[in-house]
Amino acid sequence: MAIGTSFGLISQDRNRIVRWLFTVAALIFFMVLLGGVTRLTESGLSIVDWRPVTGTLPPLTDEAWQVEFDKYRTSPEFEKKNSDFSVADFKTIFWFEYLHRLLGRLIGLAFAVPFFWMLWRGQIPAPLKPRLWLLLGLGGLQGFMGWYMVASGLVDQPYVSQYRLAAHLGLAFAIYGYIVWLLLALTRPAQGRLEPFTAGLALVIFAQILLGAFVAGLDAGFIYNTWPAMSDGYIVPPDIYSNPPLWPGMFEDHRIVQFNHRMLAYLITVLVAVWWWLHRRAGKPAHLLAAATLFQVVAGIVTLVLLPYIPAWLAVFHQAGGLILFTAALYALHMVRRP
Read off the pLDDT of residues 176-214 as tens digits, 9 standing for 90 and up: 999 999 999 999 888 899 999 999 999 999 999 999 999
Pair 317, 236 in one domain: yes
* Strand intervals (E) in the chain: 193-194, 337-338
- Give the per-residue pLDDT at 2: 34
Pair 168, 227 in one domain: no
Residues with Cβ within 8 Å of 293's Cβ and at least 6 positions away in sequence, in order, are 268, 269, 272, 325, 328
Pair 37, 60 in one domain: yes
Residues shown for the chain: 339
Pair 195, 125 in one domain: no
- For the chain, the distance separating the N- and C-terminal CA atoms, rounded to the nearest angstrom, is 31
Pair 203, 177 in one domain: no
User: Do 250 and 260 form a contact (C-beta atoms < 8 A)?
Assistant: yes
Q: Residue 263's closest CA among 239, 226, 244, 236?
A: 236
Pair 222, 253 in one domain: yes
Residues of the chain with pLDDT under 70: 1-6, 8-10
Q: What does the alpha-carbon distance between residue 316 and residue 310 come to, in Å, rounded to a whole number?
A: 10
- Give the per-residue pLDDT at 299: 92
**Which residue range forms the structural domain that includes residue 71?**
1-189
Grouping H, G, I as helix, E, B as strand and the rest as coil, residue 194 is strand
Pair 108, 198 in one domain: no
Which residue pairs, CB below 8 angstroms and at least 24 apart, start in 201-204? 201/268, 201/271, 201/272, 201/275, 201/329, 201/332, 201/333, 202/326, 202/329, 202/330, 202/332, 202/333, 204/264, 204/267, 204/268, 204/271
Residue 10 has phi, psi (to 5 degrees) of -75, 160
Pair 146, 282 in one domain: no
Pair 163, 196 in one domain: no
Identify the sign of the CA torsion 5, 7, 12, 15. Answer: negative
Pair 151, 259 in one domain: no
- Give the per-residue pLDDT at 64: 95
Pair 32, 175 in one domain: yes
Q: How many domains does the chain have?
A: 2
Looking at 159, 189, 219, the residue that finishes a domain is 189
- Give the per-residue pLDDT at 6: 60
Pair 214, 327 in one domain: yes
Looking at 137, 165, 189, the residue that finishes a domain is 189
